[in-house]
Amino acid sequence: MSETTSSGLDLAMARVGDRWALLIVDALLAGPRRWKDLESLVPGVAPNVLSARLRRLEGDGLVVAEQYSKRPVRYQYRVSAEGRELASALRFLESWGARAAGEHSSGPRHAACGTNLEARWYCPTCQRAVEGPDEGVTWL
């Protein structure tokens, strides 16, 4: 990749790679939240940083602000359809982080046995899971 070409990961990091952004999106995946709710759900974030991240996420189309009071002006926030697409990536990151810390993940579990589920690559054309380079996985 040349210096003038951006990868999908570069583009994603430009949108959600700053500190707090993914935690804010995660807090909003459960449903709309008011600013004070977000402040308590994302402990440690400074009020000015929370406001700046919400504005940036809104500008990037990942969060929608809906005014619910005119005096004083107040908003509630929700993830957009595009922001909701981050849910799977967030769950995988959460699970990875929990495993690295020796903790149990609150991610998806198999209902029959309670085991945490793992991500697998799947080819929708061939309708089968692929495991790695031995099965023809390539990165373009």
CA angle 19–24–30, rounded 5-degree value: 155
**Total domains in the fold of the chain:** 1
Show Cβ contacts of residue 86 under 8 Å, excluding neighbours closer than 6 positions.
Answer: 16, 22, 25, 62, 79
The answer for residues whose C-beta is within 8 angstroms of residue 34's C-beta and 6 or more apart is 68, 74, 75, 76, 77
100 within a domain of the structure (yes/no) = no
Model's pTM, two decimal places?
0.75
Answer yes or no: is 92 within a domain.
no
In a domain, 116, yes or no: no
CA separation (Å) from 128 to 19, 92, 121, 122, 135? 36, 20, 9, 6, 11
**Residue 4 above 70 pLDDT?**
no
Q: Which CATH number goes with the domain that contains 80? A: 1.10.10.10
Please, what's the b/e burial string for 2-39 (b: 16 or more CB within 10 A of its CB; e: otherwise)?
Answer: eeeeeeeeeeeeebbeeebbbbbbbbbeeeebeeeebb
Domain that holds residue 55: 8-84
Asked if the model's pLDDT at residue 135 lies above 90, the reply is no
Is 125 part of any domain?
no
Instruction: Give the model confidence (pLDDT) of 81-120 as tens digits.
Output: 999 999 888 888 887 788 787 776 666 678 899 887 776 7
H/E stretch holding 73 reads strand 73-79
Q: Answer yes or no: is 3 within a domain.
A: no
Structural domain includes residue 80: yes
Does 124 score more than 70 pLDDT? yes
> What is the C-alpha separation between 37 and 112, in angstroms, rounded?
34
The reply to whether 103 falls in a domain is no
* Residue pLDDT, tens place only, 50-90: 999 999 999 999 999 999 999 999 999 999 999 999 988 88
Residue 1 maps to a domain = no
Name the band, by pLDDT with cuts 50, 70 and 90, for residue 44.
very high
- In the chain, the N- to C-terminal Cα span, in Å, equals 10
